[in-house]
Amino acid sequence: MKSKDIKMGYKLLDSGKESKLERVGPYLLVRPSPQAVWSPGLPEKEWQGADAVYIRSSTGGGNWEFKRRLPERWEIEYRGLKFFIKPTGFGHLGVFPEHGESWDWIEERIREAKGPINLLNMFAYTGGATMAALRAGAAVCHLDASKGVVDWARENAVLSGLSDRPVRWIVDDVVKFVQKEIRRGKRYDAIMLDPPSFGRGASGEIWKIEDDLLKFLLDCRKLLSEKPLFIHLSCHSPGFTPLVLQNLLAEMMQGRRGSLSNGEMVISEISGRLLPSGAHARWTT
C-alpha cells in the first residue's frame, strides 16, 4: 500500500532497527520487521509515542505491550474496501498492507476479462483479495483452514457492502480441499495463494513450504479451466525470492501459453523509502 492511496487507515511512518512504526487508523503501533536493518529516519521520540508495541520472544511468539487502552477492534479502509483491525497474539492485525498492489492488480485483470470469472483464493486469511475480486465481478471460493479468519473475512465483506456477491466461505485443510475439488471435477479461471512457511492441520498434517509447495502447485493445475486468466502466488518465506516463485509457476504452467512476471511486495514509507515485505509471481494470459 502507498500512503497516498489510503482514504483512512494505514500509513508506514518509519522503519529501522528491525522494526516498523505504523499508523493504523487512529493508532500508532510498533511491530517487528526483520529486514529493516537500516537506521530509522524519524527521531526516537516519534517511536516512543506508539500506543502499542509488539515484542517478539526469543523462544517464539510474543506479546503486545499496550501504552494506552485500545478498542478490541477498529476499522480501516483501502480504496473503498473496509477491514476490521484487531491486534492478535502473533503480532498480526488482520491486514497485510503489502498485498494492496496485488488486490488492485487482480481487480483490474478481472474487469478486463469482461466475462464470468471463477476464482479460488487459498490461504485466504481475512479476505482482501476475495473482496477485490468480488467487487470486480468474479465468483470466489474463499478457502482457509482457520474458522476464525474465515469468519473475520465474512465480517469484512459485510463491512464493505459485498456480502450479497457470489462467494463460498470454506473452512478446510487447503491441500485436502484441492484434492476433493479435483475429484469433483471443479474448475477455476483464476487461482490465488499466499502459503505460509509452516503449518499444522487439524489432524496433525504438516505443511512445509520448501517440501510441499511444488507438488501442491502441480495439483492446483488440475483445477484450471481450459482458458485460465491468471495465477497469483505470493509468500513471506525467507529464501523464496520473486524469481524462485516465478520458476515454480513456470514449472506449474509448463505447456500453457501465458506470460510470467515477478516482484517484491513492498510498503512505502511516507518518506518514499520502500520496506520489502515478501515476494510474488504471476502467470497470466
Question: Which whole number is the average pLDDT over 205-228?
Answer: 94
Residues 117 and 257 in one domain: yes
Q: Which one, of 281, 181, 161, lies nearest residue 232 by Cα?
A: 281
Q: Is residue 76 a contact partner of residue 8, using CB atoms and an 8 Å limit?
A: yes
CATH code of 18's domain: 2.60.40.1180
Q: Are residues 7 and 110 in the same domain?
A: no
State whether 52 and 160 are in the same domain: no
Start-to-end C-alpha separation, the chain: 25
Q: How do residues 252-262 score in pLDDT, each as one tens digit?
A: 999 999 999 99
68 plus 184 within the same structural domain: no
Same domain for 123 and 197, yes or no, is yes
Residues 119 and 200 in one domain: yes
Same domain, 173 and 237: yes
Instruction: Express each pLDDT in 270-285 by its tens digit.
Output: 999 999 999 999 999 9
**Most confident residue range from 6-10, 87-91, 122-126:** 122-126
What value does the mean pLDDT take over residues 3-7? 40
Among residues 72, 89, 120, the one where a domain terminates is 72
Confidence of residue 8 (pLDDT cuts 50, 70, 90): low
Q: Please state the domain count of the chain.
A: 2
Quick one: 107 and 230 in the same domain? yes
123/225 same-domain check: yes
Confidence band for 114, pLDDT divided at 50, 70 and 90: confident
In a domain, 82, yes or no: no
pLDDT surpasses 90 at 87: yes
User: Where residue 236 sits, what CATH number does that domain have?
Assistant: 3.40.50.150
Grid cell 483501502 is found at: 78
Pair (173, 238) in one structural domain:
yes
Quick one: average pLDDT of 20-49?
97
The verdict on residue 226 lying in a domain is yes
Both 272 and 161 in one domain: the answer is yes
| d(C-alpha 211, C-alpha 61), whole Å | 23
* One domain for residues 243 and 178: yes
Residue 78 located in a structural domain: no
The band of 147, judged by pLDDT with boundaries at 50, 70 and 90, is very high
Asked whether residue 142 is domain-assigned, the answer is: yes
The residue segments making up the domain with residue 65 are 3-72
Note the pTM of the prediction, 2 decimals: 0.92
